[in-house]
């Protein structure tokens, strides 16, 4: 399933004429799938993995966490946790109502399009 989701994210971003890195982590936060487009900067590999870990760990989208940290004083300290990356493009992977992993997409040119590709991947990649 992890490889199907990663491939679906790459395909989704290619429809936007974007190359990305996609990372999938399991419920323990371990990297289990990584796929990378040829034209993506190397720093995006680490960003994708951290987004996937953040989404899994917090059980929420990384864009929502970023918004919370910026607008809620009680959540501002999230930005100081080194393992978390509060940048859109990370989503928890939910199966039968349970968080079983996380997906992180990086390199499309912005958090909004990273998250769009991740959402499309979860919609299409989990059907296979």
pLDDT digits (tens, 9 = 90+) for 91-102: 999 999 999 999
| Tokens linked to 37 | 């487009």
Strands (E), 1-128: 21-26, 31-36, 90-95, 98-106
pLDDT at 124: 80
pLDDT tens track for 70-85: 999 999 998 889 999 9
Residue 84 burial by CB count (10 A; 0-12/13-18/19+): exposed, middle or buried? buried
Q: Name 109's Cβ contacts closer than 8 Å, sequence gap at least 6.
A: 18
Q: State pLDDT tens for residues 3-55.
A: 999 999 999 999 989 999 999 999 999 999 999 999 899 999 999 999 999 99
pLDDT band at 90 (very low <50, low <70, confident <90, very high): very high
Q: How distant, in Å, are the alpha carbons of 64, 66, 70 from that of 34?
A: 23, 24, 30
**115, 87 in Cβ contact below 8 A?**
no
């Amino acid at each position: 399933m992890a490889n199907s989701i990663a491939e679906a994210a790459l395909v989704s971003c290619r429809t936007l004429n974007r190359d990305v890195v996609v990372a999938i982590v399991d419920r323990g936060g371990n990297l289990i799938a990584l796929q990378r487009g040829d034209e993506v900067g190397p720093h995006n590999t680490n960003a994708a993995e951290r987004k996937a870990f953040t989404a899994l760990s917090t059980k929420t989208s990384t864009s929502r966490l970023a918004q919370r940290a910026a607008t809620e004083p009680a959540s501002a300290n999230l930005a100081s946790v080194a393992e978390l990356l509060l940048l859109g493009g990370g989503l928890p992977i939910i199966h039968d109502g349970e968080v079983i992993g996380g997906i992180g997409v990086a390199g499309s040119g912005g958090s909004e399009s990273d998250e769009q590709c991740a959402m499309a991947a979860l919609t299409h990649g989990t059907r296979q």
